[in-house]
Amino acid sequence: MDDVLSEFGVSKDRLTPECNLALYRDGENTVLFDVGSGPDFMPSAGTIVDSLDALGLAPEDITHVVFTHAHPDHIWGLLDEFDDPLFYDATYMMGRQEWDYWWNPETVSTIGEARAAFAVGAKRRMEAIEDSVVLFDDGSEILPGIAAVSSPGHTPGHMGFEIRNGSNAALVVGDAIGNHHVAFQRPSWESGSDQDAALAVKTRQMLFDRLTSEDLTLIGFHLPDGGMGKVEPYRDGYRFIGI
């Protein structure tokens, strides 16, 4: 691993990746993929309102919030300072398997001590949208031009999304491809950040196969340069080319 990290100038002691939210607008819908962590998870995060403002948008302009999964840096930003949904006019959407996993009362006691707070925090936020959330399954066209792509391993029900407009297509991968160095150059290596590391390896390879064979644009949550780029075969793995 040392040779990969040194090639990318990544410290072995501390990793501070980008956290990129994807925003899609088709003239009718304004779709936000994940909501970030809010101010309660990391002191350097929780700037989503400012980021939207920079685009001339406010929370009420978001028509749909679509979750890849329910880890803190993807869902804890759901609530405002009054514990109400920040995007109060939006329709919330999550994969059925992911919802069921975090909603299950046994998850907090089986996920492991290090992640128990993840389960508590996810359930609290999901309760706020329980009566209005739309659940979907793999392959569903959840909105015009947006299809769900099952990508489990990082979490049991992790979802990616293919966004297609004519011949142009992109793949939102969330944390299924979690960094631009080891995950790309050693895609068969298991990662401790994944809840089912072996399954995550299979998912990662499936995504790389699609990204390269179909020449899809990649949108990754923890990738550099805003998270958008292309994937190219490189040595025994792949490399990320930002665009």
We report the CATH number of the domain holding residue 9 as 3.60.15.10
- Provide φ and ψ at 25, rounded to 5°: -130, 130
Residue 224 confidence (pLDDT): 93
Residue 2 has pLDDT above 70, yes or no: no
Q: How far apart are alpha carbons 156 and 119 in whole angstroms?
A: 13
Give the structural domain span for 206: 2-242
In this prediction, residues 15-37 reach a mean pLDDT of 90
Residue 18 confidence (pLDDT): 78
Cα torsion angle, 137, 96, 66, 18, sign: negative
Reported confidence tier of residue 39, pLDDT bands at 50, 70, 90: confident
In this prediction, residues 225-240 reach a mean pLDDT of 94
Q: How far apart are alpha carbons 61 and 31 in whole angstroms?
A: 9
* DSSP line for 121-162: HHHHHHHHTTTT-EEE-TT-EEETTEEEEE--SSSTT-EEEE
Residue 7 has pLDDT above 70, yes or no: no
Total tally of structural domains belonging to the chain: 1
The model's pLDDT over 44-91, given as tens digits with 9 standing for 90+, comes to 566 899 999 999 999 999 999 999 999 999 999 999 989 999 999 999
Residue 186 confidence (pLDDT): 95
Residue 98 confidence (pLDDT): 98
The model's pLDDT over 171-210, given as tens digits with 9 standing for 90+, comes to 999 999 999 999 999 999 999 999 999 999 999 999 999 9
Instruction: Please state, in angstroms and as integers, the Cα–Cα distance from residue 66 to each residue in 25, 141, 219, following that order.
Output: 13, 12, 14
SS3 category, 45: coil
Q: How far apart are alpha carbons 33 and 136 in whole angstroms?
A: 15
